[in-house]
Chain A
Amino acid sequence: MQLDNVFGIAGTALNAQSIRMNTTASNLANAGTVAGSEEEAFRGKKPLFKALMNEEMTHAGAKFVGGVKVDRIVNDPTPVKKVWEPGNPLADKEGYVFHSNVNEMSEMVDMMAASRAYQNNVEVVNTARQLMSRTLDIIKS
């Protein structure tokens, strides 16, 4: 029953997109975070998607083949902002603080993209559900 698989596949996508939304939320929440050293500064998190192309990648008998998963979450490699703020209690000896490298604009765009992708997959599930219930109704004809 292939329509069964549609639910599993769209489910993996819903999961992946909601993780993406979570990282966006975390990035936006930490956009104004300041740190006293470059290492401690907050770096934006980006989920890396990967297609589930064969059975080995999922557990046996799983209906997720062809779906998507979050392979890993990587740090945004762009350099953190170094700002001279001697009045800040977190400032280092030379008076510098390190702001996060989160770009709020691109995070907002990413959030909208994730939300649209989520809606798309909800719609996929809805359509498959309707078709399935119509298929079950075939005995009534």
Chain B
Amino acid sequence: MLRASAAIERAGFPTVSIVSTGFLKQAEVVARGLGIDDLKIAHYPGTPMVDSSEELRRKVAGDLAPQIIEALTSARASERKQAAAREPAPREIVFRGTLEEVNDHFYDAMWTDGLPVFPPTLAQVERFLRFTERAPDEVIGVCPPDNREATVWNIAVTGVMAGCRPDYMPLLIAVVDAVTDPEFRIQDAGSTPGWEPLITVSGPIAAQLDFNSGASVMRIGRRANSTVGRFLRLILRNMAGFRFAPGAGDKGSIAQNFFVALAENEEACREVGWLPYSADRGFQPGENIVTVQSVVSVSPPIYTGSDDPLEHARVLAEVVGQSCGYWSPVAMTYSKNNPLIVLGPSIAKVFAGHGWSKAGIRQYLYDNLWIAADDAERYAYYIGLTGFRLRDHVAKGLLPPEYCASDDPKRRVRMLLNPESIGIVIAGDAGRNQSKCYCSNHTQGPPVSRKVTLPRDWDGLLARR
């Protein structure tokens, strides 16, 4: 919300922004990142979503309105809260200590995730830089809300800290390039649902860097999957400013842990005759691609058993519907939804063996996932989307007319906005019959893909690593 206020201030209009108690600390980070750290705030005390209407009106009249009047009538302009402190240069040594002292220093400065980090020495950072031809000072992207530049240098520093190997560097750059695309909306990665980005790795680089795509995929334990996932969490913390108390910026109410990176089993794709996920994302099969998307919740393990693909599809639809149904009104509100299905290789084999394509699975899910209209509006309201009405969204063209086909509050409306937005990746234990669904968080973190650019002497560098 403060982004709108800042844009309005820049256009020359005075503003005051209504912020409830729980968001005050986050507002500080956002306002600083927007370059207006003294944005005028009117504080709504408490949590508006649990106040009675009477209590709400009392707070507006007694607390909020006087602050708004003061803010809008005061002749004062800026009151800079503090002068910006000098920031160290990239190669400047900011601390010297033992492994334990470095970790304590970084933890106290809120630069770590609470786990031990590799000390980012100049020598270690230089090892990472050998795996890219890009200049260390090249800005790959800017990370709001704290609005810090993610340069090739910073990416290497963060990779060292996360425990990555130097040869992950081209992939790390691609990940940062993806999440700093404005479409990804990295600035919303600290929103209250507590969503977490998930990185999917496609192409031969997954095997070259020893990613796990088989049994126990998505569990911490394989260095590439684990540290690349952790790397992105550190980027969110140190470049975008998503820290929680005693820091600020991260408002995940009951948030998720970071995800280890997901690698697709492209061999399984070839076996069943399907193109890999990267091709679904618009790239050539065999290209090295990373795709990053938000995940707000994970389904239970979806065990399906039969040699009939329709039975697999039925159970998939049931469990995906149960898992993502409650969150589907958020997708309707923002007209965007990108669930990701991780399909076990044996399940893919049954589907493909009976002539089903990934498009067929997507269409089946689209056709068979429904929610009652009044449940959709009720859930949306409780989530805080109190302005959401299906009828209004249809009138504005944000949802198709079928969402208001009648006035029956119990009419069924589709959970999914279109079949094409469902991602399908083959991974997991080939010896079992399990799949899982990862629900996305609408416009916050839609899938964004980037090609991994390798240095010219990639094979030589790998041979010498």
* A and B pair up: no
